[in-house]
Amino acid sequence: MNQDGTGLVTRSGSLPSEPYDVTVVGAGVVGAALARELARYRLRVAVVESSDDVGEGTSKANTAILHTGFDAVPGSLEARLVREGQRLLSAYAAECGIPVERVGALLVAWDEEQLAALPSLLEKAGRNGHDEAALLDAAEVRAREPHLGPGALGALEVPGESIICPWTTPLAFATQAVRSGVDLHLNCRLTAVGQGDAADGTPHTLRTSRGDVRTRYLVNAAGLGADTVDRMLGHDTFTVTPRRGQLIVFDKLARDLVRHILLPVPTALGKGVLVAPTVYGNVLLGPTAEDLDDKQATGSTAEGLAGLREKGARILPELLDEDVTAVYAGLRAATEDDDYQIHARPGQRYVTVGGIRSTGLTASMAIAAYVTGLLADCGLDLGGESRELAPVTMPNLGENFPRPYQRAELIAADPEYGALVCHCERVTRGEIRDALASTVAPGSLDGLRRRTRARGGRCQGFYCGAAVRELFDRRDWLATR
Ligand SMILES: Cc1cc2nc3c(=O)[nH]c(=O)nc-3n(C[C@H](O)[C@H](O)[C@H](O)COP(=O)(O)OP(=O)(O)OC[C@H]3O[C@@H](n4cnc5c(N)ncnc54)[C@H](O)[C@@H]3O)c2cc1C
């Protein structure tokens, strides 16, 4: 922590020698939410993250839906935390400017069997507390979604389902955590744990790629690596099997084709292939669900994309005529269990937060509050009541909210907000400068894209790439302007 109470963001060099009260392994959306929650207490907190940025793992590559949890298994931990997390994140997003659009979802039945399954899904939604869900007949479905393919027999409407910016969310958490005193150590992979002694208070020694860190309490929020970290502490209770989800991003001209999140009736393998708008104004088609054994396999395959196009052609045939802006894939941290793998080990002053498969973005803030309670149960002295954190305001990346290039008063005060660099996504020099000078600054061009949308449009950086790179390469100079 600095003298002004702000935490450190480090990317290289040795680590502080003073022991932390709590260290979180992993700066995905879950680890970042936890860091923010812990920052509300009088604690010395660190996050160690193996990559060079926040939200660089599964958290950067999902379908970006703020779920209601209408279809979760009633009574499961996931159902509870998704429902609570949706409430918390909706309020937090409004407070700090994370774009959210409450577009609602339609769960579309394409055959008699699926149609017959809708009433029980409605009943399940009710048991999960979503009484506003309703059944629609074929004519009502078509009236709501005029571009839907032929053959839709009916749907379950879930009005509360929303789309959200998945990139701003972990960044907002991390920014607020660091400004409130949490240290964030990037490029810092945990490789082994020398366990301390709870009886005499000896801290654990975490061996990392940047040297040792000492900590009294440890939280494993390592996503795909959560089973590996768990084994470092002697536990063999679950194995992460990466479940790949490939997605296609369609051009913004496709946005008018779809009004809701269009979901299929779920199968045992997951929620199935959906069509959904994004807060950036694109349309997503995906994801696939492929169980793999390689935790690095985030590539797209011709077979996977062809399968998506086949399914998309039935749901929204005109979508297939639109240009593709990008493809990507994310890996869900699936385990042999259907529920989250959150376990407290009081004797080790250790909490595992694993198996956060397909709902972790939504549930992140509720997971953070739950895990903080578990740490207290493990003996962590929270040092009194929690405090309100100074609010943060994040740059708006949402297409349905005013962007800097549209704000005359902002441009009059600072002409840099009128100087477009990325024309596809309308990103200005002012926004790039701000991102480079931000509390958790990007360490790469991809990180800059997640903070500004620069190079994320239909040309994918073909036209603006050199200009964006030049600004990025001059970041130390720009950050002082
Ligand atoms: C295709 C797809 C679609 C999805 N759609 C949605 C959705 O619409 N809505 C929703 O709510 N959720 C969705 N999810 C789920 C959501 O993205 C995840 O649940 C969430 O991102 C998990 O966050 P995390 O912080 O647990 O993991 P991660 O984001 O993977 O973060 C874990 C971090 O730990 C770090 N790490 C690992 N090992 C170590 C180590 N030894 N030392 C230091 N650091 C380490 C990693 O580098 C990584 O940054 C989807 C997931 C996928 C794949």
Looking at the structure, do residues 93 and 4 belong to the same domain, yes or no? yes
DSSP per residue, 410-464: HHHH-GGGG-EEETTTTEEHHHHHHHHTSTT--SSHHHHHHHH-TT-STTTTTTT
Looking at the structure, do residues 151 and 166 belong to the same domain, yes or no? no
**Residue having the nearest C-alpha atom to atom 41 of ligand 1:** 190
In one letter, which amino acid is 123?
Answer: E
Instruction: Say yes or no: CB of residue 64 within 6 Å of ligand 1.
Output: yes
Looking at the structure, do residues 88 and 197 belong to the same domain, yes or no? yes
Which 8-state DSSP code applies to residue 26? -
Strands 420-422 and 283-286: unpaired
Q: Is the pLDDT of residue 151 over 70?
A: yes
The CATH code of the domain that includes 132 is: 3.30.9.10
The CATH code of the domain that includes 44 is: 3.50.50.60
Q: What's the total number of domains in the chain?
A: 3
Confidence band (pLDDT; 50, 70, 90) for 270? low
pLDDT tens for each residue of 91-113: 999 999 999 999 999 999 999 99
Q: Is the pLDDT of residue 266 over 90?
A: no
> Ligand 1 centre from 223 Cα, in Å?
5
Average pLDDT over residues 462-466: 94
Q: Quick one: pLDDT at residue 269?
A: 56
> Ligand 1 centre from 83 Cα, in Å?
19
Q: Quick one: pLDDT at residue 476?
A: 74
Instruction: Specify whether 130 is catalytic.
Output: no
Q: Is the pLDDT of residue 382 over 90?
A: yes
For a pocket test of ligand 1, which of 358, 371, 446 has the largest count of ligand atoms closer than 8 A to its C-beta?
A: 358
Q: Quick one: pLDDT at residue 367?
A: 98
pLDDT tens for each residue of 402-445: 999 999 999 999 999 999 999 999 999 999 999 999 999 999 99
Looking at the structure, do residues 178 and 72 belong to the same domain, yes or no? yes
Q: What is the distance in angstroms between the CA of the first residue and the CA of the last residue of the chain?
A: 25
Instruction: Say yes or no: CB of residue 249 within 6 Å of ligand 1.
Output: no
Residue whose tokens read 């609602």: 104
Instruction: Say yes or no: CB of residue 35 within 6 Å of ligand 1.
Output: no
Q: Among 67, 185, 204, 260, which one carries the catalytic annotation?
A: 67
Q: Which of 379, 374, 77, 352 is nearest to 235 (CA)?
A: 352
Q: Which of 203, 220, 221 is nearest to 212 (CA)?
A: 203
Q: Quick one: pLDDT at residue 190?
A: 98
Looking at the structure, do residues 79 and 17 belong to the same domain, yes or no? yes
Looking at the structure, do residues 3 and 140 belong to the same domain, yes or no? no
Mean pLDDT of the chain: 95
pLDDT tens for each residue of 242-257: 999 999 999 999 999 9
Residue whose tokens read 């923010």: 36
Confidence band (pLDDT; 50, 70, 90) for 475? confident
Any domain includes 399? no
Q: Which of 35, 17, 16 is nearest to 25 (CA)?
A: 35
Average pLDDT over residues 188-197: 97
Q: Quick one: pLDDT at residue 179?
A: 98
Looking at the structure, do residues 173 and 291 belong to the same domain, yes or no? no
Instruction: Say yes or no: CB of residue 259 within 6 Å of ligand 1.
Output: no
**Residue having the nearest C-alpha atom to atom 20 of ligand 1:** 360
Instruction: Say yes or no: CB of residue 232 within 6 Å of ligand 1.
Output: no
Q: Quick one: pLDDT at residue 183?
A: 98
Sequence-ordered strand ranges (E) for 118-240: 134-137, 154-158, 162-164, 183-185, 190-194, 204-208, 211-220
Give the atom of ligand 1 at the shortest distance from the alpha carbon of 188. Answer: 43
Instruction: Say yes or no: CB of residue 49 within 6 Å of ligand 1.
Output: yes
Q: Quick one: pLDDT at residue 481?
A: 62
> Ligand 1 centre from 222 Cα, in Å?
8
* Structural domain containing residue 277: 99-160+240-332
Looking at the structure, do residues 88 and 55 belong to the same domain, yes or no? yes
CB 60 within 8 A of CB 38: no
Q: Is the pLDDT of residue 82 over 80?
A: yes
pLDDT tens for each residue of 10-65: 999 999 999 999 999 999 999 999 999 999 999 999 999 999 999 999 999 999 99
